[in-house]
Amino acid sequence: MARRRIGGSETRLMSAAGIAVACLAIVLLALAVLPKEDPRVVALRQFTYDLVSPIMELANKPSEALVGVGQYFTGLETLWSRTRALEAENLALRQRVTELTQAEVLMQQYRQILDLPEEPKLELINARVIADLNSPFVHTLVTKGGRARGIEPGQAVMGLNGLIGRVISSGRNSARILLLNDFNSHIPVVALSSDVQAILSGDNSPQPQLQFLPRQAELKDGDLLVTSGRGGQIPIGLPVALVKRDEAGAISVNALDDLQRLNFVRIVKSTSTPSPPDEIQLSPRSRGGANE
């Protein structure tokens, strides 16, 4: 009895498979005979898609899982490489911090020995750029904020990385900034590694140029130029640009910030050092009394 039942079930299974094959053959025949633009064909095709789409979605699950596993391991590899890079950068920064700490201790000792006055601490004023007045002949910006916030003409202006110019005029709520590459910009700078001094001047080109550079100046590719403090308006030691030297030995500079894409700036709140009074001209009688 059990065998007959098993045989009957196998017969039913085969008959069901035969019915499915026959239905599929009929569907294919109908699709071949009927025109493609027939509404019945479109409806049948859509019905077939709706019927098969869950099966296709289920069949795609393993491939999607494999893709996810591949992306996971790729992300792990990227994360590992970034971690190694961050560890190396962290080690370099720690070494740099140690060097700066030693330099600060030595600087304090030198100041005590030489009895040098301390440089005032920098106070920065954040301002937003509201107008870009760049043209072939003028390279200036207008920022929101003026004398009401302590912004005065002559003050240095910095971007995210270094000096970008100086304030040339200031109203109550706005200020105008002359960029480094403007023809009227002249900033005294010094090379941090070789102590070579020069003037960084603009010529209305994308990058400023070094002028009055000593003939035997030894500047290397990548040297950092900082403000020298000459003139008494701009504080000493502000980063300005990097030296670029090509294979032929020609020297150029690259500003630390993109002067064409400035949205926010930082103004160094400082006052210019007053000039000493002119020498008093004494009359001969006064000179004689002074000599006595």
- Domains of the chain, CATH where assigned: 124-269 (2.40.10.340)
* Residue 253 burial (CB count, 10 A): 21
pLDDT in the model for residue 223? 92
- The CA-atom distances, in angstroms, between 225 and each of 73, 97, 207 are 44, 20, 14
Which strand (E) or helix (H) includes residue 253? Answer: strand 251-255
Q: What is the pLDDT of residue 36?
A: 61
The pLDDT averaged over each successive group of 10 residues in the chain (292 residues) is 49 60 66 64 68 70 75 82 90 88 84 79 91 84 92 94 94 94 94 90 93 86 92 89 88 93 91 64 49 46
Please tell me what DSSP assigns to residue 160.
Answer: S
Cα angle for residues 230, 204, 245 (degrees, 5° grid): 70
For position 28, what pLDDT does the model report?
Answer: 62
| pLDDT recorded at residue 68 | 75
Whole-structure pTM value: 0.61
- What are 155's two structure tokens? 């003050």
Q: Which of 187, 234, 229 is CA-nearest to residue 208? A: 187
On whether the CB atoms of residues 264 and 128 are closer than 8 A, the answer is yes
pLDDT of residue 117: 76
